[in-house]
């Protein structure tokens, strides 16, 4: 797979949720925001807005990272990278 040169946008999504405006106003240090996934479901990896892989959280040198456990479609990865 050959990717185009340049900056690519890689986004890792742990989960999502809908929050009412009144609840947003109550968020403070220590608040917990519940997401739509179980803790064992992992993360989604997007390249230029397209889902390309799924992974699980890991810690690398004290930083949060993602271990890829499934590549959705190698052709999608190449096509997504070529759009930038």
In a domain, 5, yes or no: no
Residue 64 inside a domain? The answer is yes
Q: Mean pLDDT for each consecutive 10-residue tract of the chain (84 residues)? A: 69 91 92 88 90 93 94 68 54
Structural domain includes residue 4: no
- pTM of the complete model: 0.67
The answer to whether 44 and 54 are in contact (CB under 8 A) is yes
DSSP H or E stretch at residue 59: strand 50-60
Q: What integer pLDDT is reported at residue 55 of this predicted model? A: 94
Tokens, residue 58: 């890991």
Range of the domain at 53: 10-82
3 lies in some domain: no
* CATH code for position 49: 2.30.330.10
Q: Which of 52, 56, 46 is CA-nearest to residue 72? A: 52
- Distance of alpha carbon 57 from alpha carbon 42, whole angstroms: 7
> Measuring CA to CA, which residue among 80, 77, 83, 84 is closest to residue 1?
77
């Amino acid at each position: 797979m050959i990717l185009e040169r340049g900056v690519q946008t890689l986004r890792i999504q742990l989960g999502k949720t809908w929050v009412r405006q009144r609840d947003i106003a109550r968020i403070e240090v220590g608040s917990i925001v519940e997401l739509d996934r179980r803790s064992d479901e992992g993360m989604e990896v997007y390249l230029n807005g397209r889902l390309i892989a799924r992974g699980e959280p890991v810690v690398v040198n004290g930083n949060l990272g993602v271990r890829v456990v499934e590549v959705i479609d190698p052709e999608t990865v190449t096509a997504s990278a070529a759009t930038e």
